[in-house]
Structure 1
Amino acid sequence: MPSLSEHLEAVRQQRFVGRTHERHLFESALNRAELPFYVLHIFGPGGVGKTTLLGEFARLCEPAQIPVIQLDARNIEPSPESFLEALRFHLNLASTDSPLVALAAHTGRQVFVLDTYENLASLDSWLREKFLPQLPANILTVIAGRHAPAAGWRTDSGWQALIHLLPLRNLSPEESRDYLIKRAVPVNQHQAVLNFTYGYPLALSLVADVFAQGQELSFQPEAAPDVVKNLLERFVQEVPSSAHRVALEACSLVRLTTEALLAVMLDQPDVHELFDWLRSLSFVESGRAGLFPHDLAREVLVADLRWRNPDWYAELHQRSRQYYTQRLGQTQGEAQHRVLFDYIFLHRDNPAVRPRFTWQETSSLVTDTFHPSDSPALLQIVTTHEGAASAQLADYWLERQPQNVLVFRDVEQQLVGFVMTLALHQATAADVAGDPGTQAAWSYLQTYAPLRLGEGATLFRFWMARETYQAVSPTQSLIFINFVQHHRLTPKLAFTFFACADPDFWAAMFAYADLARLPEADFTIGEQRYGVYGHDWRVVSPMAWQELLAQREIAASAQAATPAPLGEPLLVLSQPAFAIAVRDLLRHFTHLDRLYHNPLLQSRLVMERSPTNAGKAERVAALQHLVQEAAASLQASHREAKLYRALYHTYLQPTPTQEQVAELLDVPFSTFRRHLKNGMARLTEILWHQEIS
């Protein structure tokens, strides 16, 4: 009688589809007298089918009786000792035996498989430099993990010739349909399933499991909550209590769950038991910084919660947001980067944000300051992606503002990307004129948003990853996090520009983040035209911006991508224009119809002191009150009290003529005129300070 394991293998083989290229590559390597490569490195996201492919590789070895030594890094501590001990156990060796000697004793072809390689990231250098080079040349090593190999594999001239990289992607539509046919999913439902899964193997498997229950389904997950519920039940068979369900919902919303965060989201002082229960679930993984559910589990949990209890969904968002806001004030540097990433993760439900950010639970990239020794590598990256003319400009700015450059390094400390944020207000006129990018940004400021005394403006002039330039990548995501950190930490920042080689690609996400497209600030280097986005922090302050994004975070996804205007925009007045507006205000202080047109009604001075939906009449009243308060403050000084009296009787409670005011104040007319002039100047100074502070 066949054994159960034989039945399992038969079912697995029967359900295996696709991967023709990968199978052919592996088989052809085995059949060569001399291996064409000694390491086959497979990488792709969780659930894409890496482990399934490794199982197929093992079956391909059976006819030739090629031994397969397979280790799963989930069961190995990332240390040389633990790794070697796991290998001894698999080979049935004593603790004193050498695994390398045992492997060398077999003279025929062998296959050594390392699965879940991301768990051995800290051991990567040892494996590459110490262990693997000692293996006999008859062994083909197959590595499978979520991440592409570290730079050391690609930069080492020896390994470059001995390793083959194999990124694993979703199944093609044809392969997906083949799988659905094998799983007896009705043909008329295939397209709807493909639209939902995009050929993601784990999702295909779970959806097929739902159909296997024998239900008559019309697969429309967005409109059919029962389908989401059935998917959810694949992960959650039985939740012990309502508290456990709430803990699971909280875990699905945030990037990484810790006990401290869980306590805040559940508003409970002790959540240790709930945290341990989450950690025990088969679809919840443990990372170095916390727990996270499998991607598809997260999707169906969030979809179910948002449909079933939108108010609780919003409340959990608010609680986690408050936690992150508090943590931002307690952290700095890399720790603050991680908190910002967690914060931004709350926005991933939006279709404008999700595809333009990498949402990996762990990252090996490190943000660092620029060192002069980084210059050759940095300029080479610019030359590769933008050409020699751009590299020459980057070199120019490296000499003038090296302190405004951040670089990103991998685990091998190699430079994998950078961002250069130029302080336009610190550049000389010659510096600005020498670069079309800074020249265009400065011209825009002068024309549309002039800087006021003490204010600054920055241009994200160069930003790119070594391999992927400005495409979506972990480096690009870190650059965007630094953008958020930059405007939070830069005092007196008035304006931010962001230059893009492909501005249309980023349009939806930047609109969501309230960055306006500024074609007037576009510029050209060589044959490449760069589109520019920008944000005036005087119009929408960092605090108002944060509140705006909080509203979009929990809004319905389709509407949140293109939010409606938020009413009348703020006017950012230069100091001379502000002074003219104050003078006009005083002259018509008691004529409301004239005040309705005063530009100060749209200044921060008034807008931030008025209700959100205040009409013009309310803002006029607020403006009059501000002026009266500012003028009255002059009475605190004996020297300035006479200025207040001149203002009061001329404008605030006007006497018919200025001659009568002078007579009322019992001073010569020329003296009164001097007091009035100084009073207007002093009042303007007080209001201006309130406007820009």
Structure 2
Amino acid sequence: MPLLLLERLNAERQRYFTGRQHECDRFKAAIDAAKLPFSVLHLSGVGGVGKTMLLREWMRICQSSQIPVAYLDARNFDPLPDAFLSALRAAMHLAPTDAPTPILAAQSDRYVLLINNYELLTPLDGWLREVFLPQLSEHILVVLAGRCALSSVWQTDPGWQTLLQSIALQNLTPDESRLYLTKRAIPVAQQRTIIEFTSGHPLALSLVVDALAQGQEIQLQSKASPNVIKTLLEKFLEEVPSAAHRKTLEACATVRLMTEALLAEMLDEATVHEIELHGLDVHELFEWLCGLSFIEVGASGVFPHRLARDILVTDLRWRNPNWYATLQARAYAYYSARLGLTQGHKQQQILLDCLFLHRHNVVIKSRFTWQEECHLQTDGFQERDPSELGRANRTALLKTVTQYEGEASARLAAHWLARQPQNVLVIRDADQRFTGFVMTIALHQASLDDLDADPATRAAWQYLQQYAPLRSGEGAILYRFWMAQHTYQGVSPTQRQIFTSVVQQHRNTPGIAFTFIPCAEPAMWANLFSYADLARIPEADFEVGKRRYGVYGHDWRVVSPAAWQERLVQREIAPSAPMLALSDAADSPLVLSQPEFASAVQEALRHFVRPDMLHDNRLLRSRLVLEHAATHDSAKRIAVLQSWVRDATELLKVSPRDEKLYRALYQTYLSPAPTQEQAAEALDLPFSTYRRHLKAGVTRVADILWQREIQGYVPKTS
């Protein structure tokens, strides 16, 4: 049998694992005891001190002693009870229908549960302490590993005082550091200086080894730095093999997950030329990146250790903000191109990638969570109903509404669930458990009686009628209910998933003209929604069950989804640049009625070969043009308008039914004869027939462009 990669990985980890003998002896003594001396072992230490490596060694000790062990990483699931239990079920290799808690409660032999990055489970700390852990068998040892000390409740509870032990993990001793460096083939003459500089910090030691392994000569100070990781990483960046390698690191730190394809897009031409001169390629750069000690591997790409990422980005934004903005812009360009080629879960992952690029923005960073990995998924409620899981989700949905908004709101949610179930998006974890939902109401598809039955839909519809009436073929949606099961509308991974689902719906819904988003605490979202061009609409506020909700909204006819996304990109990568919004009334977008639009199309055809006559055409301020020429340059807008008119006209050529209409338009407007009579003669048509074809052709072109104006695409001719 060939050696599995996992076995090789574990062998390499074991080979370089150094020190921690006291911690390992203490752990082994506990699991070998006839009765556990403590039930919970808390392992704490700063980032990069080696907690994960020690947990892996403890796993090996368990396996050597034939003691079952389960490992959980808090980065990979939400800090929610159901998400925790789902992750635990997977770690224990149980069936989807098995409940892990009763199995652990019935455990009569030694069992070890390791939970890493426990600081991310702070919202779950009380539940774990008071509900989950007390249900476990006395034969189970639970290890909680994290950067922070446990809350004081653990220390003051008389019960936990005797059942809890703590280990504060320190740097390696000089002897342990020396042994590690010897294992990594570092010459003895260099070891003392390295140890003094790093103070035995494991991540710092590994960074030095990485640098020396590349043949670099690092001049280390003999006196240890007070911030050794920052100093060492900066030194490492200065000593990377080439500028191309440095830019590779900086690019990796900028994005949520780095892939080889994304790296190829983010590197500039000078960097590509440099690596070619050195006989390298992007693949080799990516392989070098993956081999660095502070780079972690995820399911969909690689990413730096959190500490390394923070230092890299902080340094880059201070030292070379233009290059940082360029990296962001290239990442956005890569994501934007892929958005149009993907759908469903893959498209939502790309939207998360886009959102991650905003994580340092002061307006945005506090309103979202920023994990590299995301195991939540969004799908339609109707897809699962009427299965058992669908019924469970319906119950959970209505229970969640009742919990946070009351019985009156729950009755309205049930009403809309019966009327428009296809518009409900359910958020589920990796084990398909309900974690939240968003219920969208298509206002234009609802009956007047249904609209009037709900204060929210009644207020939104009245606003549309008075201030932003829908045109033929357009629709408006209200995100009537949106909430996470355990955190309502507060910051959480589920809330982040809801927001990316909303953006995804904006992109993929043809004809969307207006959206409304109600909030239980509108003031809390004011800064973020203002940044995202969602206007506060007090006229659409409503009250249900003596609770008042504030509403935000956006008119997509004025700023389309594509233009909106581009505006957010510009606000992030060039915050000092002028916004894409047009600044004066003469240049503001126009929302034309269908007759007004058709009249403007006819005028554009009439003056097609006379750009000087198109300066006052109202289509220059339509979504059709502004989406592709959001500029004050009249000549550019006219060129875009002419391009759309030409494309729509030539679209008629592909249809036998419409080809005669195209010929009439071509002879009259695109390549005009001196008179219409001469155009009819050139087409060998009676003048009355020619006029009929011409009129029908103008109508068809206006219809094609109208569909593009309101729905964002040019339909195929039949």
TM-score by length of 2: 0.62
Q: Is residue 342 of structure 1 aligned with residue 325 of structure 2?
A: no
Matched with 2:364 is: 353
Superposition pairs of residues 123-522 of structure 1, within 5 angstroms: 124-125=88-89, 126=92, 128=101, 130=103, 133-134=106-107, 145=118, 147-148=120-121, 159=132, 161-162=134-135, 230=231, 232-233=233-234, 236=237, 238-266=239-267, 267=272, 270-370=281-381, 371-522=390-541
In 1, Cα distance between the equivalents of 2:74 and 2:627?
A: 53
Q: 3-state SS of the aligned residue for 1:240?
A: coil
TM-superposed CA distance for 1:479, in Å, is 0.6
Q: Deviation digits for residues 447-491 of structure 1, max 9, x if unmatched?
A: 222222222222111110111111111001001111121112112
- Please name the residue that 2:10 is paired with: none
User: Is 390-399 or 627-636 further displaced after alignment?
Assistant: 627-636
1:124 counterpart letter in structure 2: L
The 3-state SS of whatever aligns with 2:523 is coil
Letter of the 1:500 counterpart: C
- Aligned-residue offset at 1:348: 2.0
* Counterparts of 2:419 and 2:431, CA distance in 1: 29
How far apart in 1 are the matches of 2:266 and 2:612? 51
Q: In the alignment, does 2:549 pair up with 1:530?
A: yes
Q: Distance in 2 between matches of 1:513 and 1:485?
A: 15
Deviation, 1:115, is 8.4
Secondary structure of residue in 2 paired with 1:134: coil
**Once the 2 structures are TM-superposed, how far is the Cα of residue 379 of structure 1 from its aligned partner?**
0.7
Cα-to-partner distance string for 1:109-137 (whole Å, 9 max, x where unaligned): xxxx9785657988612275545752679
Please tell me the residue identity of whatever aligns with 2:705: Q
Partner amino acid, structure 2, of 1:532: V
Q: Equivalents in 1 of 2:54, 2:326: separation in Å?
A: 38
The equivalent of 1:87 in structure 2 is 62
Query: Deviation of residue 278 (structure 1)?
Result: 2.8
- 3-state DSSP class of the match of 2:522? coil
Q: Conserved in 2, the CA contact under 8 Å of 1:421 and 1:458? A: yes
Three-state SS of the structure 1 residue aligned to 2:310 is: helix
Please tell me the root mean square deviation across aligned C-alpha atoms, in Å: 5.6
Give the match for residue 31 of structure 1.
none
- For the residue of structure 2 that corresponds to 1:316, the secondary structure is helix
2:705 aligns with one of 680, 690, 693: 690
User: How far off its partner does 1:393 sit?
Assistant: 0.6
1:117/1:595 CA distance change after superposition, 3 Å = closer
Q: Distance in 1 between matches of 2:38 and 2:455?
A: 49
Residues 331 and 5 of structure 1, relative CA distance in 2, 3 Å threshold: closer
State the distance in 2 between where 1:490 and 1:355 align. 29
- Call closer, same or farther: CA 1:391–1:522 in 2, change over 3 Å: same
Instruction: Report the CA distance between 1:619 and its aligned residue.
Output: 6.7
Tell me the equivalent position of 1:45: none
One-letter amino acid of the counterpart of residue 448, structure 1? Y
Secondary structure of residue in 2 paired with 1:491: coil
Deviation at 1:624, TM superposition (A): 10
Identity score, percent? 48
Q: After superposition, where does 1:640-655 map in structure 2 within 5 Å? A: none
Q: Secondary structure of the residue that 1:471 maps to in structure 2?
A: coil
Aligned-pair distance for 1:384?
0.8
Please list, as runs of the form range in 1=range in 2, the aligned pairs for 1:558-577 lying within 5 A after superposition: 559=576, 563=579, 565-567=581-583, 568-577=587-596
Counterpart of 2:121 in 1: which secondary structure?
A: coil
The one-letter code sitting in structure 1 at the alignment partner of 2:334 is: Y
The CA deviation string for residues 166-188 of structure 1, in whole angstroms up to 9 with x for no partner, is 9989799xxxxxxxxxxxxxxxx
C-alpha separation in 1, matches of 2:662 and 2:234 = 75
State how far apart, in whole Å, the 2-side matches of 1:586 and 1:341 are: 43
Question: Residues 678 and 447 (structure 1 numbering): CA distance in 2 closer, same or farther, change over 3 Å?
Answer: farther
Q: Give the whole-Å Cα distance in 1 for the aligned partners of 2:149 and 2:126.
A: 27
Which letter does structure 1 place at the counterpart of 2:553? G
Which residue does 1:27 correspond to in 2? Answer: none
- CA offsets, 1:240-292, max 9 Å, x none? 32222111101110001122322332357843443343334343322232221
Q: How has the CA–CA distance of structure 1 residues 520 and 676 changed in structure 2, closer, same or farther, with 3 Å as cutoff?
A: farther
Aligned to 1:185: none
Q: Quick one: structure 1 residues 492 and 8, their matched pair in 2 at CA, closer, same or farther if it must change by over 3 Å?
A: same
Q: Which residue in the other structure is 2:565 paired with?
A: 546
Distance in 1, Cα, partners of 2:119 & 2:455: 41
CA distance in 2: counterparts of 1:142 and 1:628, whole angstroms = 63
What TM-score, normalized by structure 1, do the two folds share? Answer: 0.64
Corresponding residue number in structure 1 for 2:185? none
Shift in alpha-carbon separation, 1:372–1:618, aligned structure 2, 3 A: same
Contact 1:72/1:115 (8 A) holds in 2: no
State the SS of the aligned residue for 1:285. Answer: strand
Q: Is the 8 A contact 1:249 1:302 kept in 2?
A: yes
Query: How far 1:434 moved relative to its partner?
Result: 1.1
Q: Is the 8 A contact 1:72 1:114 kept in 2?
A: no
Amino acid aligned to 1:134? Q
3-state SS in 1 of match to 2:483: strand
How far 1:51 sits from its partner (Å)? 3.6
CA distance in 2 between partners of 1:6 and 1:607 (Å):
64
Partners of 2:256 and 2:665 in 1: how far apart?
Answer: 59
Query: What does 1:667-686 correspond to in 2, within 5 Å?
Result: 683=698, 686=701
Flag the 1:597–1:152 CA change in 2: closer, same or farther, 3 A: same
Counterparts of 2:620 and 2:561, CA distance in 1: 21
Which one is further off, 681-690 or 446-455?
A: 681-690
What letter corresponds to residue 132 of structure 2 in structure 1?
W
Report which stretch shifted further, 354-363 or 465-474.
Answer: 354-363
Q: Contact 2:76 / 2:374 at 8 angstroms: preserved in 1?
A: no
Give, in whole Å, the separation in 1 of the partners of 2:402 and 2:415. Answer: 14
Separation (CA, whole Å) in 2 of partners of 1:444 and 1:492:
19
Q: Output the CA distance in 1 between the equivalents of 2:370 and 2:420.
A: 32
- CA shift in 2, pair 1:644/1:258, >3 Å: closer
Deviations 1:198-229 (A, max 9, x none): xxxx9xxxxxxx9x8689xxxxxxxxxx9997
Determine helix, strand or coil for the equivalent of 2:290.
helix
Cα distance in 2 for partners of 1:541, 1:170 equals: 45
Distance in 2 (alpha carbons) for counterparts of 1:506 and 1:360: 21
Could you tell me which amino acid in structure 1 is paired with residue 324 of structure 2? Answer: Y
